[in-house]
A = this chain, B = another copy of it.
Amino acid sequence: MTDTVAFQGIHGAYSEQALRQFFGNSVEVEPCETLQDLFAVIQSRQVKYAIMPIENALAGAVSQAYELLMDYDLLIQAEVYLHVHHALVTTNGQKIEDLHSVRSHPQALAQCDQFLRRHNLKPVPWYDTAGSAQDLATNPMPGVGAIASELAGELYKLDILATQIEDVTFNYTRFLVLGHDDPPKGEYNKTSLIFATRHRPAALYDCIGEFATRGLNLTKIESRPRRNRPWEPVFYLDFEGHWQDPVCQEALARLLQRASFVKMLGSYPAVKTGNETVGI
């Protein structure tokens, strides 16, 4: 097993940007076509780590990411926040006024809506952001551009006509780094887990009370339908703390008494956002 890191998408994908932000530019990377492939290569230890988007992702992969976390037994190593910037790219020295339409993933197009309107460019949905850049490089079309990362523009040797063209500047995607072993404890840690409640009123309230009453801040909670178990939700929960801390161990033990099941996704060094003392 090498220290290779896998990501989903083709070269130039936002996932590769997040990977390079965290692991640096010299790390070996392995692109995977689907999120299933990503989990398969790390489960079989062909790579040491994998990175995947979990919140506010462009590719709509998020719900599938949660299901895969449930299906596999991997541990979260770290979280990475990528500030997503979109660039307008094209071929053959065309200028922005030469373009009539622009391809990209529907969510990227939506995020650059005002820019496209201002320049009178028709949005053309494509299955992937980096894919729209690669396809254009392979088959240049007069009057056609693509919205992708600057990295994708450079990798596919396209002309970068404009950068940071997104309407909303606060556009972050949260990624998780996955691996097999418990990572070293950091200075500031989060713990992620999945659980289901037993069938009784106020069950969720009682479960999160085990954290709230011990001063353990939640940073994320989400209920999701449980696959193949009609209408029984599972909960994805992040809280500030490490499983080795005595107060966390107490809360986790109490949660186990109340829950129908608990699946630990790991304790890991987390990113300081300046909002640590707030909690939910």
Contact = CB atoms under 8 A, between A and B. Distances in A.
Contacts of A206: 212
Interface string A53-81: 00110011111100000000000000000
A56 B218 CA distance: 24
Nearest to A55: B225
A154 to B, nearest CB: 23
A188 interface: no
A147 to B, nearest CB: 13
A175 to B, nearest CB: 14
Q: How many copies does the complex hold?
A: 2
Given A223-B280, A225-B55, A170 B230 contact: yes
B212 A205 contact: yes
Contact of A172 (B128, B202, B220, B225): B225
B106 A127 contact: yes
A252 interface: no
Nearest to A109: B34
B107 A60 contact: yes
Interface string A182-203: 0000000000000001011111
Interface stretch (A85-93, A157-165, A270-278): A270-278
Contacts of A118: none
Nearest to A173: B225
Interface string A95-131: 0000000000111011001000000000101111001
Nearest to A113: B36
A138 interface: no
A213 interface: yes
Contact of A201 (B212, B222, B231): B212
A237 to B, nearest CB: 10
Nearest to A198: B278
Nearest to A58: B60
A222 to B, nearest CB: 5
A204 B222 contact: no
A225 B232 CA distance: 25
A26 interface: no
Contact of A35 (B59, B110, B125, B278): B110
A233 interface: yes
A83 to B, nearest CB: 11
11 contacts: A36-B113, A61-B107, A125-B131, A201-B217, A201-B279, A204-B279, A204-B280, A205-B211, A206-B212, A220-B233, A222-B223
Nearest first, the 3 A-B pairs at minimum CB distance are A60-B60, A205-B212, A231-B275
